[in-house]
């Protein structure tokens, strides 16, 4: 009987540890996936931001009428992806979310993707169709203000999200590769 009690106690004590080791199915509280946002990409496909859960992603914001910072941000992300893949590794896909969903329709998104030679399998240029774009931008660290009908003042932020949508690296360096950010991308990349 004494042995039974010891085994029962050991079993009961192991239950909390088993549950603690089980990964949570819901994203952590600081996850961008907590932001309610429905997006439409350059191919017209609609999806919820949270559907990107399960793999790392490089994220930034832009708008198609931008003639300086946004094209430079896209070029910088491409340089980051190239530098991170130099060791024959897969690199995270890219999600760009428009600051100007009113003007950045599917046609404009597709035209920008084509102008920059962006592969739709790796790059999703998107516009929000529902949800809180301002909360998404604030969580990402992007501050923006509309100056005219199609012109925005904004900072440039490139972030790396982990599989749960938490920001694990962030850079505001554009025009050249930030080595610390590339290292973070390499660390999250998987070999292919």
Give binding residues for Cu cation as ranges. Answer: 66, 70, 154
Of 61, 34, 65, 69, residue with least CA distance to 142: 61
SS (H, E, C) the chain: CHHHHHHHHHHHHHHHHHHHHCCCCCCCCCCHHHCCEEEEECCCCEEEHHHHCCCCEEEEEECCCCCCHHHHHHHHHHHHHHHHHHHCECCCEEEEEECCCCCCCHHHHHHHHHHCCCCCCCEEEEEEEEECHHHHHHHHCCCEEEEECCEEEECCCEEEECCCCCEEEEECCCCCCCHHHHHHHHHHCCEC
Residues comprising the binding site? 66, 70, 154
């Amino acid at each position: 009987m004494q042995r039974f009690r010891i085994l029962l106690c050991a079993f009961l004590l192991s239950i909390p540890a088993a549950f603690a080791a089980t990964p949570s199915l819901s994203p952590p509280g600081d996850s961008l996936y907590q932001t309610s946002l429905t997006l439409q990409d350059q191919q017209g496909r609609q999806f919820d931001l949270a559907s990107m859960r399960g793999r790392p992603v490089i994220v930034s914001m832009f708008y198609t009428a931008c003639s300086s910072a946004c094209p430079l941000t896209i070029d910088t992300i491409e340089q980051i992806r190239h530098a991170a893949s130099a060791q024959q590794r897969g690199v995270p896909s890219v999600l760009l979310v428009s600051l100007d969903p009113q003007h950045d329709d599917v046609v404009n998104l597709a035209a920008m993707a084509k102008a920059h030679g962006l592969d739709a399998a790796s790059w999703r240029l998107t516009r929000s169709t529902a949800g809180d774009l301002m909360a998404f931008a604030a969580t990402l660290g992007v501050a923006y203000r509309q100056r005219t009908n199609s012109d925005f003042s904004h900072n440039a932020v490139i972030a790396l999200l982990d599989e749960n949508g938490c920001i694990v690296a962030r850079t505001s360096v554009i025009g050249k590769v930030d080595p610390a950010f590339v290292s973070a991308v390499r660390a999250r990349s998987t070999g292919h």
